[in-house]
Structure 1
Amino acid sequence: MSRTRMKGIDVSYWQGMPAGFRYRRFKEGGWDFIIARIGYAEDGRLQFDSTFEHNYRMCREHGLKVGAYFYSNARNARQGRAEARYVLRLLRRRRLDLPVWIDMEDEETSGRATRRQLSAACRAFCRTMRRGGYQAGVYASTSWFERKIGWLGRLPKWVAQYDDHVTYRGRYDMWQYTDNARVPGFTGGRDANRAYTTFRPIRRRIRRMW
């Protein structure tokens, strides 16, 4: 894998809404981005993450690159598209610097689908996001990429593996290497990530897809 181009953390409701000075210290400490959960699926319902607005605004105010992720329950292409359309409604044409990631890790829902169904769900989600004007990719653990998710073509991949190196043998763009990093500005352990790609926003007008 090529050199690290950016480093950052991912956050959700569980990390609350820290004060603005914490984001400033994070930036001053040499960190580059935050990927904020925008929503999640649970028991067949699509829900928004009440901390996304705050995280987005703080990133913009303090010069941090920002992306988003959605915790998925999708088991087929139809459900992947539905989740993406929901995310597009929540985004309301905001500009993002990093992709919108479909988070594939729920064993009780997506984990029960076949490899073919899961790859179709991921590709449908990402295709819908791109048509809406956003970069998109797939987040999963090494074991999910290798054993559960089928062919994804050239979609960006964000691999989770808490180790000193990644054993996934395919191409990937980001690595979540720990869930307990101590980072400047914020308290407690954080999910920390290394990005190996400088993501470029899609250079076209964001389309309304809902």
Structure 2
Amino acid sequence: MLKGVDISNLNGSISIDSIKNAGNSFLIAKATEGSTFIDKYYNDNIAKAKALGLITGAYHFARFQTKEKAIQEANFFKSIAAGASPDFVVLDFEQQCNGDMTEACLAFLEIVATIAPALIYCNPSYIKAYLNSSITKYPLWVAHYGVSSPSTVLWPDYAMWQYTEKGQIPGISGYLDLNYMAEPFYNSIATGEPVKPDPLIEQIKSLQYNLNIDYNAGLVVDGIAGPATMAALKGIQDIIVKGHKSHVVLWIQQKLEQYGYLKENSYTSMLYDEPTFQAVTELQKNWERPTDGVLRPETWSIFLNN
């Protein structure tokens, strides 16, 4: 686990040497905010950190409320941040919003990921309030203070963890944000190879998220098909019958397509219709499960392990 610091104009002109001498391996500097603000210390901070051999990151403090504004802010950030060649870039998402902001955040990240590997910075409450599992395409820098291990909500783990906003370093006045960087993310930066998520874990996380929104399951979205997830699935086995419509049904249909039991456009999306029912029974037959189209734990075990 590597130690590091994130800084902004609020810290003023800061001693990067002191940060290095305190045993830190990386520095993240604010570059921009909204669609007009430029941090006047950004280029200097990154240049000094690079000269000292630190891993460097650049972040943008988001103000957008829509996808269109997100794209505008992303292009602004890119125009300012790219010149300093940071090792990674970050969307700092902590703006009060209305509704799901995943699409807007993804639009931002897709643009800035052309500079360097991209992450999203967020705290657990914002993840729960404004994001869905699609955002886990990008690694997480989580802000969670006063705990021994942070909550990552939708992600199985974190790339970075901001564990305090009241850190202190000899030679620097005032408080600093202190962070840990996980070894897999560090290795991805060092080698240029992105951290590849396990597709099955991502699918299970998507299922857990759908169980929560469709049936108020109250599951932790962690990609682990543990007792709570299995209990939630058992609880809906008599609900998912022909004619039932839900996001969980769509998840089943996507898995059946993956296995080759359903063809694209051969079924009604989200609806447990006749083609979907027949595909489930064929799957059950081939896996020697009860062949009745009922989604018991024995059938779910196929989906969750393959």
TM-score range, shorter chain: 0.7 to 0.9
Q: Tell me the amino acid that sits aligned with residue 179 of structure 2.
A: N
CA distance in 2, matches of 1:68, 1:15: 15
Matched residue of 1:153: which SS? helix
The letter for the 2-side match of 1:188 is G
Q: Contact (CA 8 Å) 1:162, 1:176: kept in 2 or not?
A: yes
How many angstroms does 1:202 deviate by? Answer: 9.2
Corresponding letter in the other structure for 2:90: W
Aligned to 1:102: 91
Matched with 1:191 is 177
Residue 79 (structure 2) aligns with: 89
In structure 1, the gaps of 5 or more residues are: 204-210
Q: Which amino acid aligns with 2:89?
A: V
Q: 1:76 to 1:10 in 2, by over 3 A?
A: same
| Paired residues of 1:100 and 1:135 also in contact (CA < 8 A) | yes
SS of corresponding position for 2:142: strand
Q: Choose from 166, 175, 182 the match for 2:161.
A: 175
1:91 partner amino acid: A
Aligned partner of residue 84 in structure 1, secondary structure = helix
- Residue 11 of structure 2 is aligned to residue 29 of structure 1: no
Structure with higher RCO (Cα < 8 A, 6+ apart): 1
Residue 9 (str. 1) matches residue 5 (str. 2): yes
Deviations 1:59-111 (A, max 9, x none): 122222110110101223222221111111112443222x211111122xxx2
Give the letter for the 1:134 counterpart: A
Q: Aligned equivalents of 2:150 and 2:126: distance in 1?
A: 13
CA distance in 2, matches of 1:104, 1:52: 19
Q: In the alignment, is the contact (CA less than 8 A) between 2:47 and 2:84 conserved in 1? A: no
Tell me the distance in 2 between the aligned counterparts of 1:106 and 1:202.
Answer: 33
Q: Tell me, which stretches of 5 or more residues in structure 2 are unaligned?
A: 193-306
Instruction: Compute the displacement of 1:143 (Å).
Output: 0.5
For 2:141, give the aligned amino acid. W
Would you say the 8 A contact 2:18–2:169 is kept in 1? no
Q: Which string of whole-angstrom CA distances, capped at 9 and with x for unpartnered residues, describes residues 14-52 of structure 1? A: 10012xxx32232122111111000101xxx42111111
2:143 — aligned with what? 160
Q: Secondary structure at the match of 1:125?
A: helix
Match of 1:133 among 115, 119, 122: 115
TM-score calculated relative to the size of structure 2: 0.57
C-alpha RMSD of the superposition: 1.9
The structure with the larger Rg is 2
Select which of 182, 187, 200 maps to 2:189: 200
Aligned residues: 185
Any conservation in 2 of the 1:133–1:202 contact (CA below 8 Å)?
no
TM-score (norm 1): 0.81
8 Å CA contact 1:23–1:185 kept in 2: the answer is no
Instruction: Compare the two structures and name the one with the higher strand fraction.
Output: 1
Q: Which moved further from structure 2: 184-193 or 62-71?
A: 184-193
SS in 1 for 2:53: coil
SS in 2 for 1:126: helix
Question: Higher mean Cα deviation, 63-72 or 179-188?
Answer: 179-188
* CA deviation after TM superposition for structure 1 residue 10, in Å: 0.7
Q: Is the 8 A contact 1:135 1:201 kept in 2?
A: no
> Kindly, what percent of the aligned residue pairs are identical?
25
**Pick from 117, 124, 127: which aligns with 2:107?**
124
Contact kept, 8 Å, 2:16 with 2:45, in 1: the verdict is no
Aligned with residue 44 of structure 2, among 33, 37, 54 = 54
